[in-house]
A and B are shown apart, each in its own frame.
Chain A
Amino acid sequence: MIEIEELTKKYGNAVVVDGLTFTVRPGRVTGFLGPNGAGKSTTMRILLGLAKASSGTAKIDGQPYAALPAPLRQVGALLEATPVQRGRTAYRYLLALAQTHGIALSRVEEVLDAVGLTSAAGRSTAEYSLGMRQRLGIAAVLLGEPSTLVLDEPTNGLDPAGVHWLRNLLRAQAAEGRTVLVSSHLISEMALTADQLVVVGRGRLLADLPMAELTSGHASLEEAYLQLTGDAVEFSGGLR
């Protein structure tokens, strides 16, 4: 379970996350939606202990991330743009992560197989396409068989088959009782994947509702979303 409480993050005078409170429960996929600059990535980075909150708390299973004794076994995280380093193979990238927790070599091979990278595991990740990097990132998420999954824009760069595969994976993980929080800009994809939706704009919570409730009275999730976030769009292209 993920609990965000009165979370605020300021950079100088800019308030990126503004008193955000919501809970992500196990057993379902929770979509995390909002326009660019709404504070989704910042919230996730605070949740994962990479950034410090100005005030408020973000907890996973009742503890802040930094206090988890075996974080990879409790939380699997995918951040935007899975990083690559020249000369580092996918296998060694995952191995270095696995070794911090004493995770077995066989598990590294298992997750490489699960994301379809077995044949490319020995290649330098710098040669990977965006979609392959995303698959590598998802392999890292699965490495410690965590009970909580946090994914920031996981569909970026995935081909249609990859998107379909990821959707089934996330739904299966949730069905097994895991907590799954996934951010995306692809509303139609969210409509197929998520059970619960948390919508933010300008760092504030706009909605935290089951899919059916959010979309009731609207033709589609997209329409509901656009109406909800209409006033919170920070960077709009062309006419509003």
Chain B
Amino acid sequence: MSGGTVDPRRGRALGQSAMSDGEQDGVTFRRVLRSEWTKLSSTNWSVLIALPVVFSALSGWIGHTNHDRPTDPTLSVGGGFLLFAMAVGVFGLTMMTGEFQSGVIRATFTAVPRRLPVLWAKAVVLVVVATPSLLVAYFGAFLTYQAFTDSALRASLGDPGITRSLFGAAGASVAAGLMALALGTLLRSTAGALSAYVLGLVVLPSVLLSALPTSFHSALPYFPTLALQGMFRNASEAMVQVGDAPDVMLSPGLSAVVVLGWVILMLTWSATLLHRRDI
């Protein structure tokens, strides 16, 4: 790398030279990962820590209010899902849009001109920080809810499908965050990406449900929202329903595969554009 060396006869500038030959001076994925970790703000951390606490407390309160009614434990998980999908979604999409809107992305891409490692590093950081937070939140919410329920009606983690449903919900929320990261990369503005995210997640399913003829309803569970919700449906309990939707969901395993497909598709699409576009 002769390019980094200043003519030795002229001496060196500020401080000692950090330049020595070899790969250890260049950009590596691990280094980009560390850099992305540094970029997590104190706001990011407060949200990640506050969410499980707030949601568990809220869930306990709801459990207390409904203590004498038999409840479907999957519903209490499903109720939290949209909340978490929103929180993780905003987290995921602002990881990218925050840099685009402030212009920091130019500094980022002059440091990492290959660009794509930045997207992958953000995805890894998102998964690594959101997963524990979401697991604590879903398990905490379930346990506090059940703690206030009358003992005769109480569900426990040992009941069939409960644990899998909670893991499924956490996984679905993380997947939603990755889709949001892809949207943020595609649209580059927070307002645009957030609108698209909310439309896709909340509005689109009910619109499709009313707009599509009944014969097309079998395609619905392959749309992201229903596939995400399918990941935490509890096969042994009543089905999770979206509005007045009939039970159209796929099995949790198949839903997870469909969701994975969407995540890969969206990230690949956004990576292609990120690589090609002028900044």
Contact = CB atoms under 8 A, between A and B. Distances in A.
A7 interface: no
B1 interface: yes
B6 to A, nearest CB: 5
Contacts of A111: 14
Interface string B1-36: 111111101111111011100011111100110111
A145 B43 contact: no
A85 B35 contact: no
Contacts of A93: 104, 107
Contacts of B4: 70, 73-74, 144-147
A34 B279 CA distance: 22
A66 B1 CA distance: 15
B14 A147 contact: no
A169 B32 CA distance: 30
Contacts of A52: 276, 278
A88 B4 CA distance: 29
Given A71-B111, A74-B3, A99-B35, A83 B27 contact: no
Contacts of B19: 73, 145
A130 interface: no
B127 to A, nearest CB: 19
A236 B73 CA distance: 70
Contact of A61 (B3, B23, B99, B107): B3
Q: Which of B24, B36, B107, B109 is packed against the most chain A CB atoms within 10 Å?
A: B107
Contacts, number: 155
A81 interface: yes
Interface string B255-279: 0000000000000000000001011
Given A145-B18, A176-B12, A100 B2 contact: no
Q: Give the 5 A-B CB pairs with smallest separation, nearest first.
A: A83-B103, A61-B3, A177-B7, A51-B278, A70-B26
Interface of B: 1-7, 9-15, 17-19, 23-28, 31-32, 34-36, 38-39, 41-43, 98-99, 102-104, 106-114, 276, 278-279
27 contacts: A50-B109, A50-B279, A61-B3, A63-B3, A69-B1, A70-B26, A71-B113, A73-B18, A74-B1, A74-B3, A79-B107, A79-B110, A81-B103, A87-B42, A93-B104, A93-B107, A96-B108, A100-B112, A102-B24, A102-B31, A111-B14, A142-B14, A144-B18, A145-B6, A175-B10, A176-B6, A176-B7
Interface of A: 26-27, 45, 48-52, 60-63, 65-66, 68-75, 77, 79, 81, 83-88, 92-93, 95-97, 99-104, 107, 110-111, 114, 140, 142, 144-148, 172-173, 175-178
Given A73-B19, A88-B39, 10 more contacts: A48-B113, A51-B278, A51-B279, A70-B25, A70-B27, A75-B110, A96-B38, A107-B18, A110-B15, A142-B14
